[in-house]
Amino acid sequence: MFEVSNRKLIDTFVVGETPLGLAVSPDGKKLFVACAAPESTVWVIDTAMGKVLDKISAGHTALAPVLSRDGKTLYLCCRFNNCVEVIDLVSKKAVRRIRVAREPVAAALTPDGKHLLVANHIHAGRADADAVASKVSVIDVAAGQVCRELELPNGSTLLRDVCVSPDGRYAGVTHQIGRFHLPTTQLDRGWVNTSALTLIDLAEMKPINSVLLDNIDSGAANPWGAAWPSCTS
């Protein structure tokens, strides 16, 4: 745990092997850490005491936990189960598995709590088709099922993160774009792979633009985490 104002380490919590994501309860009193394994666990830690309160069983390679707005439900990407696991934090058990496209690695709730956007790491289906791209699965939280699959630009792969703007109008997804449909006659200028951020219009539920991030003088951006500022202007 860090104190942001003076960049000081103030506490350390010991958890299981391979922690791949965390979430903090709305009141800041509990920390949920996804520890990935073939049979993963979510460690629940008291942030004031540093005490492990619970360990909740989860699916294969659980990561990127997301808390519901009321703090009663935890959503987990179970990468190699190709699903999002829904955990009831009252009973401390998984109550549902929602199947998504392929290898979910990141998720974000819309501000109204109605939709969960899930970034699928790689594409599903054949790799020799004319269009090959990973998708963002949109889950209707109330219905507990995928209501839309948003396909990114052709060649999009290796999705890393998804974030939603504070006003709920847009989402941003970090990923790579593979130029698989072009002959490899040069390596620079993004001829083989290009780093990108794709913006999604959440009212229309469709991608609207991809911003290329590499710089020929500075190398590949290799984008990973993404975040919006708290302001909505």
pLDDT band of residue 232 (cuts 50, 70, 90) is very low
Q: What is the pTM of this model?
A: 0.91
220 falls in which pLDDT band (50, 70, 90)? confident
Give the 3-state DSSP-derived string for the chain, with helices as H, strands as E and coil as C.
Answer: CEECCCCEECCCCCCCCCEEEEEECCCCCEEEEEECCCCCEEEEEECCCCEEEEEEECCCCEEEEEECCCCCEEEEEEHHHCEEEEEECCCCEEEEEEECCCCEEEEEECCCCCEEEEEECCCCCCCCCCCCCCEEEEEECCCCEEEEEEECCCCEEEEEEEEECCCCCEEEEEEEEECCCCCCCCCCCCCCEEEEEEEEECCCCEEEEEEECCECCCECCCCCCCCCCCCCC
Segment 180-198, tens digit of pLDDT: 887 777 776 667 888 999 9
Tens digit of pLDDT for each residue in 81-99?
999 999 999 999 999 999 9
Q: Which domains does the chain have, with CATH numbers?
A: 100-227+229-233 (2.130.10.10)
